């Protein structure tokens, strides 16, 4: 076998995905990470350029089916040596960014809703995407309850408040909302609130956001 671990290779013309024969993978490129001389197969993690050009539908389907879209195992007769187009560090960064963006595509309704909010964002732009999404879909005011005990402040777990609107977002607390309790006014993290009326149209988007924030 003429290949070695770390070689830069590309897929030959006419080759199709082993998991979906309707998808041409000709020209996809990466570096060898595994060679099985007995089976004459190789593992090819894709380079950053191929990753950037992966069809979103292919990534979505792979996530739902539990398949690894970031690399593929192919026969040695399906690849050929090619000049590298990036560094291994660049390929790693591209994989991490895509994993972060698409990891919510798990087939669940919750995961698909979350993915729809953040899938088109650049790395680090998820909070802004949530702020824009929630500003469109939430109807104010709505009644909520403090679900988590705050580290500090006047509100305590179980307190009921009226959520009057969105305030801002930051990396530490996430989306902040303006709330009132009687005559008192506060700015409070949305991730620590639950909607009182579980039939309210605000309930699902708030719960989706809380789940995303806790698992981001």
For residue 216, give both structure tokens.
């981001």
3-state secondary structure (DSSP) of residue 36: strand
Place of tokens 């959520």: 163
Within 13 Å, how many C-alpha atoms sit on residue 90's CB side? Answer: 12
pLDDT in tens, 31-65: 999 999 888 999 999 999 999 999 988 988 888 88
Q: What is the mean pLDDT of residues 73-93?
A: 96
Distance, CA of 100 to CA of 82 (rounded, Å): 29
Which residues of the chain form CATH 2.30.30.530?
A: 123-215
Look at residue 148 in the predicted model and tell me its pLDDT: 75
Look at residue 101 in the predicted model and tell me its pLDDT: 76
pTM exceeds cut of 0.95: no
CB neighbours of residue 45 within 10 Å = 19
Place of tokens 């809703």: 113
Distance, CA of 95 to CA of 104 (rounded, Å): 15
For residue 182, give both structure tokens.
């009687």
3-state secondary structure (DSSP) of residue 211: helix
pLDDT in tens, 108-141: 889 889 988 887 676 678 899 999 999 999 999 9
Share of residues in the chain with pLDDT > 90 (%): 72
- Topology given in CATH for the domain delimited by 123-215: SH3 type barrels. (2.30.30)
Distance, CA of 190 to CA of 166 (rounded, Å): 9
Distance, CA of 75 to CA of 1 (rounded, Å): 11
Nearest CA among 4, 26, 2, 22 for reference residue 14: 26
Q: How far is residue 148 from each of residues 4, 6, 193, measured CA to CA in Å?
A: 54, 49, 7
Distance, CA of 70 to CA of 80 (rounded, Å): 19
Q: What is the mean pLDDT of residues 185-212?
A: 96
Distance, CA of 80 to CA of 97 (rounded, Å): 27
For residue 150, give both structure tokens.
């705050």
- Give the alpha-carbon dihedral of 26, 31, 36, 40, to 10 degrees: 30
Q: Where would I find the beta strands (DSSP E) of 64-206?
A: 71-75, 79-81, 142-146, 160-170, 174-181, 184-189, 193-195
């Amino acid at each position: 076998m003429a290949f070695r671990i770390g070689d830069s290779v590309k897929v030959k013309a006419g080759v199709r995905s082993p998991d979906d024969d309707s998808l041409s993978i000709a020209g996809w490129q990466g570096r060898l990470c595994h060679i099985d001389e007995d089976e004459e197969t190789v593992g090819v993690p894709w380079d950053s350029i191929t990753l950037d050009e992966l069809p979103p539908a292919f990534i979505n389907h792979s996530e739902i089916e539990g398949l690894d879209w970031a690399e593929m195992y192919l026969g040695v007769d399906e690849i050929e040596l090619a000049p590298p187009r990036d560094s291994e560090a660049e390929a790693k960064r591209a994989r991490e960014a895509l994993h972060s963006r698409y990891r919510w595509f798990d087939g669940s309704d919750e995961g698909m809703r979350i993915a729809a909010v953040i899938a088109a964002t650049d790395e680090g732009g998820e909070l802004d995407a949530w702020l824009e999404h929630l500003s469109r879909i939430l109807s104010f005011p709505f009644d909520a309850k403090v679900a988590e005990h705050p580290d500090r402040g006047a509100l305590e777990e179980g307190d009921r408040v009226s959520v009057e609107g969105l305030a801002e977002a930051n990396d530490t607390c996430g989306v902040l909302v303006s709330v009132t309790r009687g005559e008192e006014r506060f700015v409070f993290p949305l991730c620590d609130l639950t909607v009182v009326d579980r039939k309210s149209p605000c309930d699902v988007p708030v719960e989706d956001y809380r789940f995303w924030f806790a698992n981001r």
